[in-house]
Amino acid sequence: MTMNNGRKPPKKFTGYHALAMFIAFFGVIIAVNLVMARYAISSFGGTVVDNSYVASQKYNEWLEAARAQELYGWTISEPLREDGYVVMRITLGDEKAPMTGANITAEAMHPVGRADSFTFQLSESAPGVYRSVDPVPEGRWKLQIAIDRAGQSYRMRSEIL
């Protein structure tokens, strides 16, 4: 005669229990992967360059253009957002004289493609200070900026928040 002191006998671990644990374990892993994949796909804005081979072929040309731009002696501030407008300051040479008479065009692209790209102009609001003609929508924007003055061209990329 066995005595169990009023306790119920332990339940047996069956194949159904093992199957339920197996399904629960892999179900959680699959669910997390699906959620993460959905967030990754919905927030990815595309490629950095469309064709990396072509970009690698043009790399030396881009370096030469950058070296040529440095010879201009321009000092260009990072674009800032002031009262909804994009503002840049540009000076010339070591004496930091304000640069006047530049034609500045910028293309704004949303980093994850949630808004359409648009182009805008910057006009001189004070000597050496250039301000966008129209306000730029709130948010983070990647800018491709083209500055032309007296036959010299300067290209740069920047970002505003």
Tens-digit pLDDT profile for residues 30-80:
999 999 999 887 776 666 677 888 888 888 988 888 888 888 888 889 999
Prediction pTM value = 0.64
The CA distance from 57 to 10, in Å, is 72
- Distance from CA of residue 97 to its chain's centroid? 33
- Kindly state the DSSP code that residue 96 receives in the 8-state scheme: T
Q: How confident is the model at residue 9 (pLDDT cuts 50, 70, 90)?
A: confident
- Distance from CA of residue 110 to its chain's centroid? 7
- pLDDT for 80-89, tens place per residue? 999 999 999 9
Tell me, what's the pLDDT at 3? Answer: 61
Max Cα-Cα span within the chain:
108
In CATH terms, the fold of domain 52-160 is: Immunoglobulin-like (2.60.40)
> Tokens 């530049």 correspond to what residue?
102
Task: For residue 154, count CB atoms less than 10 angstroms from its CB and return exposed for 0-12, middle for 13-18, buried for 19 or more.
Answer: buried
CA distances from 22 to 14, 16, 25, 30, 33 (A): 13, 10, 5, 12, 17
- Distance from CA of residue 62 to its chain's centroid? 21
Q: For the chain, give the mean pLDDT.
A: 87
